[in-house]
Amino acid sequence: MEVRDSNGAVLNNGDTVTVIKSLKVKGMSSELKRGQAVKNIRLVEDDDEVIEGKVNGTMLVLKTCFLKKA
């Protein structure tokens, strides 16, 4: 199973990705701004369209269609 970002680059555990579109996140008062980095990502074993990563100390599950490899 290969996990790919919005540009088709292969993502691996520990990579850094950036957000390509401002996103509102349920449960957070602020939103993820375009260009914000998500470091040290983890791949979800069951789904090749989502990753887990920490943003400002909060663990989030993000869809790969809104991310690009940094």
35: left (phi over 0), alpha (psi -120 to 50) or beta: left
Tell me how far apart the alpha carbons of residues 46 and 28 are, in angstroms, rounded to a whole number. 25
pLDDT-derived band at 27, boundaries 50, 70, 90? confident
Provide mean pLDDT across the span 56-60: 88
- Under DSSP, is residue 25 helix (H, G, I), strand (E, B) or coil? coil
Report the CATH number that the domain containing residue 25 is assigned in CATH.
2.30.30.40
Q: Which domain holds residue 29?
A: 3-69
Region 49-57: mean pLDDT is 92
**Beta bridge partners of residue 37, listed in sequence order:** 18
pLDDT at site 11: 96
- Number of separate domains in the chain: 1
- Distances, alpha carbon 26 to alpha carbons 8, 9, 29, 30, in Å: 27, 27, 8, 9
Specify the DSSP class assigned to residue 64: G
